[in-house]
Amino acid sequence: MKRKWALLVLAAALLVWPAAAGAAEADAAADAAGDSETAIYGDGAELAELDYDSLYALKVRVDAELFSRPEAEPVYWAAGSYVAGRDIQPGRYYLIMSAPTRHSYTSYRIYATQADYEEGNDYLTGDLIFLTDEPVSISLEDGNCLSVQGPVALSVAPFTEDERYRYTAPEGTLVPAGVYEVGENADIPVGTYLAYPATLSGGDIKLYSTMAAYESDGSWHLGYDTHYELDVTADLQPETIRVSEGMAVLVEKDVIMKKQAALVFE
């Protein structure tokens, strides 16, 4: 009987021991994770002991590492120079122009080192980029210097529509691409108009003195009297366009037109 009881006690111990061992391992892992977290974050005292330059350098490294992760949101940079390994992790990125400036385009250049950029040496690659362009794929190796002349955005993953610049045209009458005659009973009434680009691609208007002048012009449409190129810019300003009886208006890119109110003197 005693032997049977001893066997029962031993069996129960064997059943309990794995669970206890597993719990002990879990506790040890949790303690280790806690120690690791404490080592990384602490209570803030370690960070408080850093001087400003050291703390800022740490922030730059953390930001660069976070941005290199696939789930990271795009980073938006103003005109300037940025170094791989300091401001951003080396790797492959998508690059776009993120907002208009005085123009609807900017440029980028990649130098082997920051010293090459500062000394004006030859760059490795570079090009113009427009607001309407598809993202450019660039590769940055450790120490490369990326120079941008205007606002840009970089992303590890392809950009979504919400992450790209959106242009909202001013209110007015949409005038699609085409040729229009000016006159009181024609396509466009005589008067003075404010013209804006209808889309991010910009607008384009050519004026001819008569419809016959337009019709006799070649397919390149170089015989116009006045040419207006409307770009999307940061401080969007309209072009003032005056048209009179019998003129022809060639719209090569959609525009928004608003007729100016006539002055009334009492």
pLDDT digits (tens, 9 = 90+) for 40-79: 445 566 788 888 888 878 877 787 777 677 667 898 999 9
Mean pLDDT of 197-226: 95
Mean pLDDT of 204-228: 95
User: Which residue from 230, 252, 238 is spatially nearest to 180, judged by alpha carbons?
Assistant: 252
Q: What average pLDDT does the chain have?
A: 84
| The pLDDT of residue 214 | 96
Residue 134 CB neighbours (<10 A): 11
Which residues face 125 on adjacent strands? 110
| The pLDDT of residue 90 | 92
| The pLDDT of residue 266 | 61
d(C-alpha 163, C-alpha 145), whole Å: 24
User: Which residue from 148, 137, 105, 140 is spatially nearest to 124, judged by alpha carbons?
Assistant: 140
Q: In Å, how far from its chain's centre is CA 162?
A: 10
The full 3-state SS of the chain, as one line of letters, equals CHHHHHHHHHHHHHHHHHHHHHHHHHHHHHHHHHHHHHHHHCCCHHHHCCCHHHHHHHHHHHHHHHHCCCCCCCEEECCEEEEECCCECCEEEEEEECCCCCCCEEEEEEECCHHHHHHCCCCCEEEEEECCCCCEEEEECCCCEEEECCCEEEECCCCCHHHCCCCCCCCCEEECCEEEEECCCCCECCEEEEEEECCCCCEEEEEECCHHHHHCCCCCCCCCCEEEEECCCCCCCCEEEEECCCCEEEEEECEEEEECCCCCCC
Does residue 182 surpass a pLDDT of 50? yes
Percent of the chain with pLDDT over 70: 80
Question: Which pLDDT band holds residue 103 (cuts at 50, 70, 90)?
Answer: confident
- Residue at 211: amino acid letter: M
Question: Which pLDDT band holds residue 173 (cuts at 50, 70, 90)?
Answer: very high
How far is residue 218 from each of residues 16, 151, 201, 207, measured CA to CA in Å? 95, 39, 24, 14
CA angle 154, 159, 164 (to 5 degrees): 85
| The pLDDT of residue 79 | 96
The pair of structure tokens assigned to 36 is 């690791």
d(C-alpha 176, C-alpha 107), whole Å: 30
| The pLDDT of residue 83 | 96
Question: Which pLDDT band holds residue 15 (cuts at 50, 70, 90)?
Answer: very low
Residue bearing the bigger pLDDT, 103 or 252: 252
d(C-alpha 24, C-alpha 30), whole Å: 10
The pair of structure tokens assigned to 214 is 């337009």
| The pLDDT of residue 58 | 83
| The pLDDT of residue 121 | 97
d(C-alpha 243, C-alpha 208), whole Å: 10
Question: Which pLDDT band holds residue 265 (cuts at 50, 70, 90)?
Answer: low
Residue bearing the bigger pLDDT, 266 or 6: 266
| The pLDDT of residue 44 | 60
> Considering the entire predicted model, what is its pTM?
0.67
Residue bearing the bigger pLDDT, 235 or 12: 235
Residue bearing the bigger pLDDT, 105 or 16: 105
Does residue 256 surpass a pLDDT of 70? yes
Does residue 27 surpass a pLDDT of 60? no
